[in-house]
Structure 1
Amino acid sequence: MIPYVRELDFEYGRIDQVSPLIRRVIANNPGPFTYLGTGTYIVGRGEVAVIDPGPDLPDHLEAILAAVAGERVAAIAVTHHHSDHSPLAAPLKARTGAIIYGCALAAPVADEPNAVRLEADHDDAFAPDVSLCAGGRIAGPGWTLEAIPTPGHTSNHLSYALLEENALFTGDHVMGWSTTVIAPPDGDMTDYMESLERVRAGRYATLWPTHGPPVREVAPFLDAYVAHRLERQAQILRALEAGPARIADLVPRLYTEVDPRLHPAAARSMLAAMIDLVRRGTVRADGAPGPASEYRLA
């Protein structure tokens, strides 16, 4: 069982000092993809970095500006291009002159026709001033952020390590309140599992997701996060021992505890797992792996 952390003392727009170097302001955009809302982090004092400015909400922009009144915003660091993370970067830059850091998409994402939406919309206009797709550092007085490529949730996802506190801002890569959505075509389970191992290897003291409270018992939480994904894959393999099947056949059998209304979402998650299993040679598909393909053990 994943030891979820879901309790958080907050008010929308309130500035909370959550560690010696970190302040947080939460946007009023709660929902199934954002939990309580987008948590925007401000790192440092005097000269600061803003991580994941969030959705383009005027009230949230004003809350961020109030939080940094009298200070210089030197950097805006974005974890990925979803509309609950990146759209406010450009308006915040216009008001502060800060440099936007992040990783642009290699190409616009074309979702499959009629595919159920599991995530916020794509911010196709997101274009950082400085690319950190291969990693890199952003530094200010008393703080250093190191960009850690963590693709999987999206192809351009970055996490940011705050070296002075051995902490990691995980965006949507790891969240305390929920598992992370991996939805093809931009989401990739193979990349995601490799990225999880990269985060585990960092031995961080605290994880700061963009949505929800921090994860402070990091090692056991990540162990459970990985185990959950591996168990889902093991369930698929056990089901395929009975013979070839399609995702539409497997979802009702493997997600009996899930409300049937959520089965389309479960099917997208299973597709990500199937693509990974096909790549690893464990499962075969009748052609390119897709939502309607027939799968069998290799």
Structure 2
Amino acid sequence: MEALENLPPIARLSDRVVRVLGQNPGKFTLQGTNTYIVGSRNPYTLIDTGEGKEEYIPFLASALKEHAPPSDPQQPDISDIIISHRHGDHIGGLPSVLALLRQSLPPGSFEPNRGGSALHDLVDGQTLEIGSSTSLRVLHTPGHTVDSICLHFPEDNAVFTADTVLGQGTAVFEDLSTYISSLQSLAAYKDKEPGKRDYALLYPGHGPVVKEGLKTISTYIQHRLERESQIVQVLQSPAPDNAEVWTPWTIVSKIYAAYPESLWLPASHGVILHLRKLEKDGKVRFLGGEGKDGRWQLSTS
């Protein structure tokens, strides 16, 4: 397994971006959830809020004070919060973040959540203006979750990719078909506005900055297509133990034969997602059964 890079709790990544770790390291969160303070002056935009660890709030407060200090005392530190997707390690910290922001409001300024709805759905292709010269373009990239978004940030020649593309390792997904489509859309994305740049950097939801963004996305796509090809090759061979058809478990036992059996169960979940994609593509048929013991065969039509 690739060793995780040691990331500081707070890091200025550019003139307009400060990363604050959510203080929730783990197997799936790597060094923790990356949250981002974006903008050249207050009010800033915050991308994601961590999962609600109380250790996160002092770091966010310190980042706002020392790394993104207010230039206009009559404006709040943060005016907008963007949530990349519904997973708890990205949205769980919202209540504590709002509580912090209320404490720092200058006298006579507006109160977050006062009047009308504070929640707004973002639309694919929508441009969000933040500050006087900074903008974010919303890119709907379902697959990791149905509501996953990325954010193109032309001022930094970058895309905030949340959990669609990570800084290290590969991402998990709920629907492989839509996930690969989203990756292909990201790889082909071009900014349509005159004078705006496309992107090279990725600011991920977990892990360090990715400097070769397009290369990494292409690697993600290639990895998934290679795994799909492996599964098809297995299905083309006779099933083991005199069985008539393959199951995700027997497919995993073939593909992951060199790996510890303790890894086979999570691997079977990924195989199932690949099989569902192949079913949508008309390449395999589902014959019944549940989970890792479901029965699958190549389509003859």
Q: What range is the shorter-chain TM-score in?
A: 0.7 to 0.9
1:73 aligned residue: 78
The CA RMSD measured in Å over matched residues stands at 2.2
Structure 1 unmatched runs, 5+ = 100-126
Q: CA deviation at 1:257?
A: 3.6
2:52 aligned residue: 56
Q: CA deviation at 1:268?
A: 0.7
Find the partner of 2:147 among 131, 156, 159.
156
2:253 matches 1:233: no
- Secondary structure, aligned partner of 1:281: coil
- Map residues 11-30 of structure 1 onto 2, 5 A cutoff: 11-12=8-9, 15-30=10-25
1:123 aligned residue: none
Cα distance in 1 for residues equivalent to 2:35 and 2:79: 15
2:190 matches 1:190: no
Summarize the Cα distance change of 1:252–1:98 in structure 2 as closer, same or farther, 3 Å threshold.
farther
Q: CA deviation at 1:166?
A: 2.4
Q: How high is the TM-score relative to the length of structure 1?
A: 0.81
Q: CA deviation at 1:226?
A: 0.7
The AA in structure 2 aligned to 1:231 is E
Contact persistence 1:240–1:296 (CA under 8 A) = yes
Find the partner of 1:174 among 162, 165, 169.
165
Summarize the Cα distance change of 1:7–1:291 in structure 2 as closer, same or farther, 3 Å threshold.
closer
Find the partner of 2:7 among 7, 10, 18.
10
Find the partner of 1:137 among 127, 130, 134.
127
2:78 matches 1:91: no
Instruction: Point out which structure has higher relative CO (alpha carbons under 8 A, 6+ apart).
Output: 1
Q: How high is the TM-score relative to the length of structure 2?
A: 0.81
Structure 2 unmatched runs, 5+ = 71-76, 102-110, 190-197, 239-244
Cα distance in 2 for residues equivalent to 1:5 and 1:259: 17
The AA in structure 1 aligned to 2:139 is I
2:220 matches 1:220: no
Contact persistence 1:247–1:292 (CA under 8 A) = yes
Q: CA deviation at 1:285?
A: 1.0
What number of residue pairs does the alignment pair up? Answer: 262
1:277 aligned residue: 278
The AA in structure 1 aligned to 2:274 is A
Q: CA deviation at 1:8?
A: 3.8
2:37 matches 1:37: no
Higher gyration radius (CA): 2
